Amino acid sequence: VLQNIGRMIKSSVRPYDLVGRYDFNRFAVLLVSTAAKEANLWAEKLRKNIASNIINIDQKSFSVTVSIGVCGAVSQTSDIELLENASQTLKKAVEAGGNIVRVF
């Protein structure tokens, strides 16, 4: 399932954006030179695409949902601060019931 989600994420970004596994069940995506509004639209489209994707494993079909935390950065934002802000925003999305996008 995570490999499938990873492929969907990778196919939705530009060649110069960065995608990676952040921990066991989280991915991190860096949308280079992207305004917060555009990042939010990208995240919402990705969320909908993942939710509508049917996964077939061992003769069973199901779908999954994702929660996404979006946060912008300026040149003074450290890597650690950026990840902390994104993690906190993701936590708020999950606490709100999941299957949503939240912006820092």
CA 22 to the chain's CA centroid: 11
What tens digit of pLDDT does each residue of 57-79 get?
899 999 999 999 999 888 888 99
Inter-helix orientation angle 2-12/36-52, to 10°: 140
- Entry pTM: 0.89
Task: Please state the rounded mean pLDDT for residues 13-23.
Answer: 94
How many structural domains does the chain have?
Answer: 1
CATH classification at residue 25: 3.30.70.270
What is the tens place of the pLDDT at every residue in 30-48? 999 999 899 999 999 999 9
Domain span holding position 84: 2-103
pLDDT digit string (tens) for 80-104?
999 999 999 999 999 999 999 999 9
Residue 49: the pLDDT is 97
> Taking every pair of C-alpha atoms in the chain, what is the biggest distance, in angstroms?
50
C-alpha radius of gyration, the chain, whole number: 14
